[in-house]
Amino acid sequence: MTFEYAPAPESRSIVDVADSYGLFIDGSFVDTIDGQSFATVNPATEEVLSTVTEAGSQDVDRAVRAARRAYEDVWGPMSGRERSKYIYRIARLIQERSRELAVLETLDNGKPIRESRDVDLPLVAAHFFYYAGWADKLGHAGFGPSPRPLGVAAQVIPWNFPLLMLAWKVAPALAGGNTVVLKPAETTPLTALAFADICRQADLPPGVVNILTGAGSTGRALVEHPDVDKVAFTGSTEVGRQIMRGIAGSSKRLTLELGGKAANIVFDDAPIDQAIEGIVNGIFFNQGHVCCAGSRLLLQESIAEEAIASLQRRLGTLRLGDPLDKNTDVGAINSASQLERIAELADSGDAEGAMRWTAPCTLPERGYWFPPTVFTGVTQAHRIAREEIFGPVLSVLTFRTPDEAVEKANNTPYGLSAGVWTEKGSRILWMAARMRAGVVWANTFNRFDPTSPFGGYKESGFGREGGVHGLGPYLNTDTMDYDTALQIGFGVSEVAR
């Protein structure tokens, strides 16, 4: 039975979106020197929310110089104990302003308010609290007795978890004593600009955090700037490759968090109702705009028919629509171009012979929407089983034995995450040891915690964010032992250097 719900929209009056925004450099919002401006829209309505600045190369230079000054004069020499107080203050301010930030994130990104309020924002604050705790204990983190910061970090992030990706990058960088120039994604700049205001409110010394809104060209100018010591990028594998090429031959440190095509594997002894919830959460959370989404469902053949029927019944109860409504399960696709990509890949599923099933729901007339979709009869050669769709589209494959499940799960150029559903603890350990994935969830999916490292293998990138591992890429590792360095994602040649 599906209940009818009365609309329960979260009020947007708590958010004060300015008509236009400058760049946050050296502690103030400033006008661009050589950039332009562009509009950011609400993907659920196509309403223009604000006009933001597209930073040019001179703006990038100004921001990097401000970060360098702040690093040399203030933040680098500051004791870990003092830095920790600032980071803690930022965490508290995020908590205090969390309702406003959640509404802003939902407006700019299209994700349901339930997710921005109950998942993104608590995790954002938790990351700052966690790394505030490390700032004065770096000598006990396993990186030698007195690890040093690297300097100026250039950080470029995507649009799927705008504020959370910022937190994953800014919090460990600041804890390690580095200063930051961060570029948010073009379609979701507003929460990063609100974060700039929080830095001001926290009295963070000018230049320690700089926010440059802009496009791909801004990101490129930033990561290739000669005075940047460390580059941290989260985004597509293609852009990750371009960045590697762009900074090759320089002494910049690099971490890449890239795409994924995770297998969510369900054995015949799994608690099926829980597994169905895990499958739904794995691929339809955040409209499938999740790098570690369980986009390939591997069902043991004996339960496939029953599981697909249960899944379809459950998907029939999902509510798609106004992301600000507290009852909404599935929000808007983040942009017209992402919608086009999802539709094109789904069409390839039809063309290559898979069977499409679409959840019964009415799509709003305005905005960018794609209904929860399940493809059955998928083979490993199909594009929808190989390419990252980054949308609410699930590809279902089957297997007979654990060996076959491992073989199929690892048959991807990516290696970010995987899920295993079974009652047997021994099978969980057997599977986890064989998965080429940075994270393996057992009888759950999409669980995050600031104390736990996250990152990929193969084309999903290298380096880890989160946990004590997430500090390593922001510290000078001269005194780090070889095993720790490899574990946190430095290449063998870099460790040997």
> Both tokens of residue 132?
């505030």
Out of 236, 250, 348, 444, which residue is the one contacting ligand TAP (CB under 6 A)? 236
Contact 257, 247 (CB under 8 A): no
470 touches ligand TAP (CB under 6 A): no
CB nearer to ligand TAP: pick between 227 and 481: 227
| Residue 453 found at the interface with ligand TAP (CB under 6 A) | no
Q: Pick the catalytic residue: 54, 105, 291, 388?
A: 291
Q: Which of 27, 35, 110, 158 binds ligand TAP (CB under 6 A)?
A: 158
Q: Of 15, 243, 280, 320, which one interacts with ligand TAP (CB under 6 A)?
A: 243
Position of minimal CB gap to ligand TAP: 219
| Burial class of 344 by CB neighbour count within 10 A (0 to 12, 13 to 18, 19+) | exposed
**Cα–Cα distance list, 268 to 76, 246, 492 (Å):** 55, 48, 41
CA distances (Å), origin 306, targets 282, 397, 419: 19, 14, 19
Give the residue among 335, 48, 64 at the shortest CA–CA distance from 183. Answer: 64
458 counts as binding ligand TAP under rule CB under 6 A: no
DSSP run (H or E) holding 128: helix 121-134
Interface with ligand TAP (CB under 6 A), residue from 95, 242, 410, 443: 242
In order of 348, 372, 388, the CA distances from 382 in angstroms are 8, 19, 12
Out of 388, 392, 395, 467, the only residue in the binding site for ligand TAP (CB under 6 A) is: 388
Nearest distance, CB of residue 247 and ligand TAP, angstroms: 10
Query: Residue length, the chain?
Result: 497
Residue 56 or 321 with smaller CB distance to ligand TAP: 56
Closer by beta carbon to ligand TAP, 154 or else 275: 154
Q: Which stretch binds ligand TAP (CB under 6 A): 9-17, 228-236, 349-357, 365-373?
A: 228-236
What's the angle, vertex CA 342, arms to CA 345 and CA 349, rounded to 5? Answer: 25
Q: Does 250 bind ligand TAP (CB under 6 A)?
A: no
Choice between 192 and 299, CB closer to ligand TAP: 192
The verdict on 322 binding ligand TAP (CB under 6 A) reads: no
As given in the structure block, the two tokens for residue 170 are: 């800014």
285 contributes a contact to ligand TAP by CB under 6 A: no
3-state secondary structure at position 488: coil
The span from the CA of 280 to the CA of 289, in Å, is 13
Active site residue 199: no
142, with CB counted inside 10 A (0-12, 13-18, 19+), is middle
Q: Which of 115, 186, 257, 388 is catalytic?
A: 257
Structural tokens at position 49: 């929310």
Position 279 contacts ligand TAP (CB under 6 A): no
Instruction: Give the nearest distance from C-beta 166 to ligand TAP in angstroms.
Output: 11
Q: How far is the CB of 277 from ligand TAP (least distance, A)?
A: 23
Q: Specify the stretch interacting with ligand TAP by CB under 6 A; choose among 96-104, 113-121, 237-245, 279-287.
A: 237-245
Residue 390 as a binder of ligand TAP (CB under 6 A): the answer is: yes
- Contact stretch for ligand TAP (CB under 6 A) within 57-65, 256-264, 271-279, 363-371: 256-264
For the question of residue 291 being annotated catalytic, the response is yes
Q: Which residues contact 489 (CB under 8 A, 6 or more apart)?
A: 255, 455, 462, 463, 464, 469, 472, 473
Closer CB to ligand TAP, 138 or 258, in the complex:
258
Q: Count the neighbouring beta carbons within 10 Å of the beta carbon of residue 312.
A: 17
Q: Determine the Cα–Cα distance for residues 444 and 442; give it in Å rounded to an integer.
A: 5
Q: Closest Cα partner for 391 from 367, 410, 374?
A: 374
CA of residue 37 relative to chain centroid, distance: 25
Half-sphere exposure of 78 (CA within 13 A, CB side): 24
Instruction: Restricting to residues 38-97, name those near ligand TAP by CB under 6 A.
Output: none
DSSP 7: -
Nearer to ligand TAP by C-beta: 376 or 412?
412
Nearest to 104 by CA among 184, 179, 173: 184
Output 104 or 223, the one with its CB closest to ligand TAP.
Answer: 223
Least distance to ligand TAP from the beta carbon of 284, Å? 16
Candidates 257, 322, 325, 387: give the one binding ligand TAP (CB under 6 A).
257
Rg (C-alpha) for the chain, rounded Å, is 22
3-state secondary structure of 286: helix
**Residue with Cβ nearer ligand TAP (10 or 229):** 229
Asked if residue 383 binds ligand TAP (CB under 6 A), the reply is: no
Residues between 164 and 183 that touch ligand TAP (CB under 6 A): 183
Measured in degrees and rounded to the nearest 5, phi and psi for residue 326 equal -70, -15
Under rule CB under 6 A, residue 239 binds ligand TAP: yes
What is the separation of C-alpha 397 from the centre of its chain, rounded to a whole number of angstroms? 26
Site for ligand TAP in 289-308 (CB under 6 A): 291
Six token digits for residue 213: 């809104």
Structure tokens, 217: 């060209």
Segment interacting with ligand TAP, rule: CB under 6 A, options 60-68, 138-146, 156-164, 401-409 = 156-164
Please give the residues from 182 up to 221 whose contact with ligand TAP meets the rule CB under 6 A.
183, 185-186, 215-216, 219-220
Q: Which residues are catalytic?
A: 257, 291
Q: Which residues bind ligand TAP (CB under 6 A)?
A: 156-160, 183, 185-186, 215-216, 219-220, 223, 234-236, 239, 242-243, 257-260, 291, 388, 390, 416, 456, 461
